[in-house]
Amino acid sequence: MRTEQVLFWAAVGLYGLSAFAYILAFIAKAERLFTIGLGAAAVGFAPHTASIAWRWVSAGVSPFITISESLTLGVWMTVLLYLLVELAVKKVRPLGVLVMPVSFVLIGWAGTLRTDASSAQLAPALQSGWLWVHIVGATTGFSAVLIAAALGLMYLLKQGKQGGVYDKLPSPEAIDELSYRFVAGGFTLYGVMIVSGAFWANQAKGTFWNWDPVEVWSLISWLIYGIYLHLRVTFGWRGRRLAAYSLVAVAVMIVSYWGIPFSMETFHSGFRIEH
């Protein structure tokens, strides 16, 4: 087995341990398991980073060409943002109860789709600076809204419960406000993704919008988060309703980002181009 594969599957295993520890921690209300979950995620992030870098440097393959690489990079950005939040906000240790199981499932799925690096080359016609802006906006935006959904789950779990780990969580108002900030950030970054993608498509295909299924679903997802912000800012929605909304919205985002390219032929599936 190649070094890259060893590193990748080591990351998958550690993320699986982290996900299991977080889920068990909430079931058993055992705070030590939250620490184990966070530690496993942090340790797993190292081989995850190394596997991406190894494939990128050794084969010259940008880490987003195939669906597998897109999933891997999206999870990498998610875990990075999650670890930074854990360092910055000490009272959100249970945040991983949603973030890590989702990350584990996505990177495990990526593992089943992995191909040889030689078959994952980007066509010269598609190489553009806009592509990098597009990918960074997409992965960081997804990471932000997944964090927001995890905060929404924390809000729902905290409602009406006291004692143990629940007493150590931030107040419901603080969780709600933090979730809102991540949604606002994700909404902005997805806007960057859509705009940069339009400029990239224009360079590659001569048109800003192609009604590609991924483009349409990305726009729908962006509008869904726009509705979230509208409901909060204009209609004053707070708390439980928006927490539940964020969980549904992130499911739509996952489908639009990876489910659509996997299930049908699109321009985004391997970044094909018509001449």
SS (H, E, C) 95-144: HHHHHHHHHHHHHHHHHHHCCCHHHCCCCHHHCCHHHHHHHHHHHHHHHH
DSSP string, 217-268: HHHHHHHHHHHHHHHHHTT---THHHHHHHHHHHHHHHIIIIIHHHHS--TT
User: For residue 270, is pLDDT > 90?
Assistant: no
**Mean pLDDT, rounded, of the chain:** 85
Q: Give the model confidence (pLDDT) of 160-202 as tens digits.
A: 666 667 777 888 899 999 999 999 999 999 999 999 988 888 8
User: For residue 224, is pLDDT > 50?
Assistant: yes
Q: Give the model confidence (pLDDT) of 134-155 as tens digits.
A: 888 989 999 999 999 999 998 9
